[in-house]
Amino acid sequence: MPISSSELAIVDRPKTNSRIFAHTRWDAIPVSAAVLHCAYFFGMFYLFPRVPLWVMIILGFIYSVSISWNINGISHNFIHNPYFRLPLLNRFFSILESMTVGFSQIFYECIHMQHHKGNADRPDEHGETIDWISIYKHGHEGEAEHPFKYTFFSFFREDPKTVFKELKRKNPREAFWGVFELASFATTFVILGILNWRYICFLLPFYYFGHCLSYLNGYYRHYCGNPDEPIAWGVSSYDKLYNWTWFYNGYHAEHHFRPKVHWTRMQAFRDQIANQQRAAGVRVIKPPHALAFLDPDLPRRKQSGARPMESEAVS
Query: Cα(181)–Cα(248) distance, rounded to whole angstroms?
Result: 27
**Mean pLDDT value of segment 128-140:** 95
Residue 301: its pLDDT value, please? 66
> Per-residue pLDDT tens for 224-276?
999 889 999 999 999 999 999 999 999 999 999 999 999 999 999 999 999 99
Quote the mean pLDDT of the chain.
92
**Mean pLDDT value of segment 76-83:** 97
Query: Cα(234)–Cα(117) distance, rounded to whole angstroms?
Result: 13
Three-state DSSP class for residue 69: helix
Query: Cα(216)–Cα(239) distance, rounded to whole angstroms?
Result: 17
C-beta contacts of 267-272 below 8 A and 24+ residues apart: 267/243, 268/11, 269/9, 269/11, 270/236, 270/238, 272/8, 272/9, 272/11
Residue 101: its pLDDT value, please? 96
Verdict on whether the full-model pTM lies above 0.75: yes
In contact, 18 and 25? CB cutoff 8 Å: yes
Other CB atoms within 10 Å distance of the CB of residue 24: 19
CA distances from 272 to 36, 65, 250, 265, 269 (A): 35, 32, 17, 11, 5
Residue 141: its pLDDT value, please? 85
> Per-residue pLDDT tens for 172-195?
999 999 999 999 999 999 999 999
